[in-house]
A = this chain, B = another copy of it.
Amino acid sequence: MVNTISQQELQWAHQHWMTANYLAAAAIYLRDNFLLEEPLKPNHIKDSLLGHWGTCPGINFVYTHLNLIATKHKQSILLLTGPGHGFAAVLANQYIEGSLSQYYPEMTPDRPGLGNLIKAFCWPEGFPSHLNPGVPGCIHEGGELGYALGTAFGAAFDNPDLLVACIVGDGEAETGPTATAWHSTKFLNPRTDGAVLPIVHLNGYKISNPTIYSTMTDAELKSLFVGYGYEPRFVGPDHKEMAQAMEWAHQQITKIQHAARKGKPISRPKWPMLIMRTPKGWSGIKQLHKQKIEGSYRSHQVPGKDCKTNHESLSAVEEWLRSYKPHQLFPDGAIPEKTLTFVPKGDLRIGSNPHALGGNLRKQLVLPDPKTFEIKFSRPGTTLGASTPVLGQYLKHILIHNADKHHFRIFSPDELASNKLDAVLELTTKRYLWPQTEKDPHISPDGAVMEMLSEHTLQSWIQGYILTGRYGIFPSYEAFLPIVDSMVSQYMKFIELSAKYRWRTPVSSLNYVLTSVCWRQDHNGFSHQNPGF
């Protein structure tokens, strides 16, 4: 049975959510009069209105209820926000829980700090409009949509105590990388890995279109996710429903993990996932200039964007912001203790999850001496050798030297054997959780090799794995690595920006091995020649 949710918890949840909503909304619009202590005037409005409101209330909703789980179960939670354009929501929550002020001392939990926060969003020298390495708790920017889910699994591998919650936009769910990353549970070992809790944010709209998921019936959505291997549960915009769904999900995860950890793993476990329906721009402006705003794509970015010059828009924004009753949310300009009741403390704060600053957790990778793998020959031209089998031996020895640390993995698109790296299989296996038709001794739930025919999934897995302080290598035919060109650019930007923040200790490098290079691909022909990476 699922824990019952108390009235106190529900009241808290609403209060917390409203607080985060106010902060996110205010951050998008206000450069002054942060608590609306005076009537709202054009000069209180920022000159350039950026950020994206539409997805924020949903993110806040998730954050509130994850806080409840974190506090009640002392559960370590890392949050990945697919729609990184909802940064204002994450920022609001990191301010509330105090993870932000660890690195931005001016973000104090008082009137001046609150003003600093609201003003700093999309402001010169302040924060940008999208999630970024400049805040703690973040291993995924969500600028280029599609990679949150795979990255979440990468973070969960070999982190048995971690719960990685992952918000997937229903727009984002249309991307190819997301559509196949759902299969990742088949590679997740409940005994030795953490869990991923995917939350599809079904707010119905993208930038200016309904999403595909919004045109599917509940039965179809359910069928889809059951097909992928999940146990989906629908949640509406209701705190009680959400709190119960979160409890249920947490319980399902615990059940699957306990069984596996007691040596009685559940076959083909049905991991929980949530399909959360909320109106886009929930709690925002209902209607403006005779057009529907809340529950429409018109909430996607900045509703009433002309509020600095248009009086009707300004009133609508003011009315909306006042609807949160800021004077009650922030008496004396500070967040009252009551709002913090179920906000976790210390490392349990989602924004302070240690795994997000993977460099701090990283242990030394023990490397074998490369000299040991030398191909010996007496005279040039007398010995025939190839490079990748030797690399295979080297990798095998990395695995031997690091066996107890569980922090090194090989990610390969079904090409390990083809790339002649299969010496590693003398020691480890390819990891797969579900039973196969025919027993293959080289496949087991414990393997260090991750093989899936999706370069996108591998790339997001390895990103999540490395950013949380581990090591990996991605061998691939040279011709097909350009598939992840754009992902790699985005990843490199994340690393480049991270270097700006001293508190982000560097993570390890992401290693590629390009095999079957252009001129060795005469046999497969032109389509297998693409030296662009």
Contact = CB atoms under 8 A, between A and B. Distances in A.
Contacts of A224: 223-224, 227-228
Nearest to A523: B50
A204 interface: yes
Interface in A387-442: 414-418, 430, 432, 434-438, 440
A312 interface: no
What number of copies of this chain does the assembly contain? 2
Interface residues of A, number: 90
A211 B443 CA distance: 12
A453 B175 contact: yes
B493 A482 contact: no
B480 A208 contact: no
Interface string A95-130: 000000000000000000000000000100000111
Contacts of A526: 128, 132, 143, 493, 497
Interface in A182-226: 182-183, 186, 204, 206-212, 214-216, 220-226
Contacts of A414: 171, 206-209
Nearest to A210: B436
Interface string A130-153: 101000000001111110000000
A451 interface: yes
Given A489-B532, A493-B526, A176 B175 contact: yes
Contact of A207 (B418, B434, B436, B490): B418
Interface in A436-464: 436-438, 440, 443, 451-457
A452 B212 contact: yes
A227 B229 contact: no
Contact of A209 (B50, B226, B451): B451
A481 to B, nearest CB: 8
Nearest to A141: B527
A460 to B, nearest CB: 10
Contacts of A514: none
Contact of A227 (B50, B175, B223, B430): B223
B204 A453 contact: no
Contacts of A225: 227
Given A84-B527, A175-B176, A524-B130, A212 B226 contact: no
Nearest to A301: B418
B227 A144 contact: no
Contacts of A489: 482, 530, 532
Given A130-B525, A208-B416, A176 B174 contact: no
Contacts of A84: 527
Contact of A528 (B143, B172, B181, B221): B143
A180 interface: yes
A13 B161 CA distance: 57
Contact of A175 (B50, B437, B454): B454
Contacts of A328: none
A483 interface: yes
B143 A527 contact: yes
A498 to B, nearest CB: 12
Contact of A174 (B183, B292, B440): B183
B223 A438 contact: no
A456 B176 contact: yes
B171 A453 contact: yes
Interface string A344-371: 0000000000000000000000000000
B227 A443 contact: no
A486 B480 contact: yes
| 10 tightest Cβ-Cβ pairs between the two chains A and B | A143-B527, A224-B227, A176-B176, A482-B486, A223-B227, A179-B179, A179-B180, A128-B525, A174-B453, A208-B417
Given A209-B414, A216-B229, A490-B530, 9 more contacts: A85-B524, A128-B526, A141-B527, A143-B524, A172-B453, A174-B452, A214-B436, A493-B527, A497-B526
12 contacts: A84-B527, A128-B526, A129-B523, A171-B414, A175-B455, A180-B180, A207-B418, A209-B443, A216-B227, A222-B227, A223-B226, A482-B489
